[in-house]
Amino acid sequence: VGVCSSCQSFYSVLPAISCALVCLWLIFSWFPFTADPVDVLRVLGLSENMEGVSLEAGFCTSRRGTEETDLAYKIKKIQLSTPTKQLFHDSTFPENFSLMATVRAKKGSQFFLFSVYDDGGVQQVGLEVGRSPVFVYEDQHGQPTPQQYPIFRKINTADGKWHRIAYSVLDKTVTLYLDCQKVETLDLQRGDDAVVSTEGVVVFGTRLLDEEVFEVRDFERA
């Protein structure tokens, strides 16, 4: 995959994501650096053939070495899920990892873009889009508690504009990168040898108990 010239610097600050992954819209990558990233939306089977999904011009309108314009999924309302083991066939959920999305969300919206649940329905990981987004993480011992979840205040990722959002989890910290810039590193008060179960499901589009599925503008695709 080619690299969008406006976004090269984004990957210089994300140690767990390689430059080749620019313009892949929702990915997992983890330490060590040799680990293969997981393209979440590809695993979920997101397609323009689904009801409420169409294609439009994406974030990267100019790439070096090509005249092609990137495409994005424009999504009205949708919810997709799959067993977590479909993302990690022969491995456990990584203790240290990065999660990245390229998204243009409806202005003023607030929703969980992506969540990981255990087999008891507990939300273990959650990527929220909106004003002062929270990063949900809960290990096998229930740490941190909801009151201790990292909240990135004074940030709005649902303002109707394109954003590259990335969270990098390393040991007991989580760092938010927004539009190629490091925003803040917060404490992640999880236990030692924290584990996220792969016995449950991953959900794209809403949390399990939310009544309404989210509506956004676009997700960049390869």
What CATH number is attached to the domain comprising 114?
2.60.120.200
**Amino acid 63: pLDDT:** 56
Confidence band for 44, pLDDT divided at 50, 70 and 90:
confident
Secondary structure percentages of the chain, helix, strand, coil, to 5: 10, 40, 50
Number of domains forming the structure of the chain: 1
Residue length of the chain: 222
Contact 19, 7 (CB under 8 A): no
Confidence band for 153, pLDDT divided at 50, 70 and 90:
very high
CA distance 34 to 221: 23
Average pLDDT over residues 25-39: 60
Q: Which domain holds residue 41?
A: 5-220
CA distance 119 to 121: 6
CA distance 172 to 133: 19
**Amino acid 32: pLDDT:** 55
Average pLDDT over residues 170-197: 94
pLDDT digits (tens, 9 = 90+) for 97-140: 888 888 888 888 888 888 999 999 999 999 998 999 999 999 99
Confidence band for 15, pLDDT divided at 50, 70 and 90:
very low
Quick one: 85 exposed, middle or buried, by C-beta within 10 A (0-12, 13-18, 19+)?
middle
Residues 6+ apart with CB under 8 A from 2: 22, 23, 63, 64, 65, 66
